[in-house]
Amino acid sequence: MAYDDRSVKPMSASLMRARIATRLLAGLYESVPTLMTSSVRLMVELPGSSPEAGPPYPFTFAVSPAWCSGVEGARLVGSGKLDIAWINPSVIATMAYLGKGPFRRSYPLRALAVFPSWDRLAVAASGNLGVRSMEELKEKRPALKVSVADNDCVNFAIRALLKAHGLKLESFTEWGGSVEPVVRPSNPRRREGIVSGEIHVVIDEGIDSWGQTALEHGMLFLRFSKKALVKLERYGFRRATLTAGRLESELLGGIEVVDFSGWPLITRADLPDELAYHFVSVLDRIHEEIPYDFAQVPPMSSLCRDTEAGPLDIPLHPGAERFYRERGYL
CA-based nearest residue to 314, from 99, 85, 75, 93: 93
| pLDDT tens column, 136-162 | 999 999 999 999 999 989 999 999 999
Predicted local confidence at residue 56, as pLDDT? 72
As a whole number, mean pLDDT of residues 182-197 equals 94
Q: Which residues pair with 148 in a beta bridge?
A: 181, 203
Asked if pLDDT for residue 286 goes beyond 60, the answer is yes
Predicted local confidence at residue 32, as pLDDT? 72
| pLDDT tens column, 287-316 | 998 888 888 899 999 999 999 999 999 999
Predicted local confidence at residue 31, as pLDDT? 76
* Residue 302 near residue 324, CB atoms below 8 Å: no
As a whole number, mean pLDDT of residues 236-243 equals 90
* Residue 254 near residue 243, CB atoms below 8 Å: yes
As a whole number, mean pLDDT of residues 75-90 equals 94
Distance CA 243, CA 202 (A): 18
| β 145-149/85-86 pair status | unpaired
For residue 53, name the pLDDT band (cuts at 50, 70, 90): low
As a whole number, mean pLDDT of residues 84-107 equals 96
| β 145-149/201-204 pair status | parallel
Asked if pLDDT for residue 48 goes beyond 70, the answer is no
The secondary structure of 69-121 as a DSSP string is SSHHHHHHHHTTS-SBEE-SSHHHHHHHHHT-TT-SS---EEEEEEE----EE
Asked if pLDDT for residue 5 goes beyond 70, the answer is no
Distance CA 58, CA 197 (A): 52
Predicted local confidence at residue 1, as pLDDT? 42
Asked if pLDDT for residue 51 goes beyond 90, the answer is no
As a whole number, mean pLDDT of residues 81-97 equals 95
| pLDDT tens column, 32-47 | 766 655 777 777 766 5
Distance CA 257, CA 7 (A): 57
Homologous superfamily of the 37-117+262-326 domain (CATH): Periplasmic binding protein-like II (3.40.190.10)
* Fold for the domain defined by 120-259: D-Maltodextrin-Binding Protein; domain 2 (3.40.190)
Distance CA 314, CA 255 (A): 27
Mapping DSSP to helix (H, G, I), strand (E, B) and coil, where does residue 209 land? helix
Per the prediction, the chain carries an average pLDDT of: 88
Predicted local confidence at residue 89, as pLDDT? 95
| β 120-126/109-115 pair status | unpaired
CA atoms within 13 A on the CB side of 114: 31
Instruction: Rank 25-29, 81-85, 252-256, 319-323 by mean pLDDT and report only the highest.
Output: 319-323
CA-based nearest residue to 86, from 110, 62, 60: 62
* Residue 235 near residue 100, CB atoms below 8 Å: yes
* Residue 329 near residue 287, CB atoms below 8 Å: no
Domain span(s) for CATH 3.40.190.10 in the chain: 37-117+262-326, 120-259
Predicted local confidence at residue 61, as pLDDT? 86
For residue 69, name the pLDDT band (cuts at 50, 70, 90): confident
Of 47-51, 104-108, 192-196, the least confident? 47-51
Distance CA 33, CA 240 (A): 34
Asked if pLDDT for residue 176 goes beyond 90, the answer is yes
As a whole number, mean pLDDT of residues 253-280 equals 93
Region label for 190, one of left (φ > 0), alpha (ψ between -120 and 50) or beta (otherwise):
alpha
Cα 186 from chain centre: 15
Angle at CA of residue 177, ends 210 and 230, nearest 5°? 60
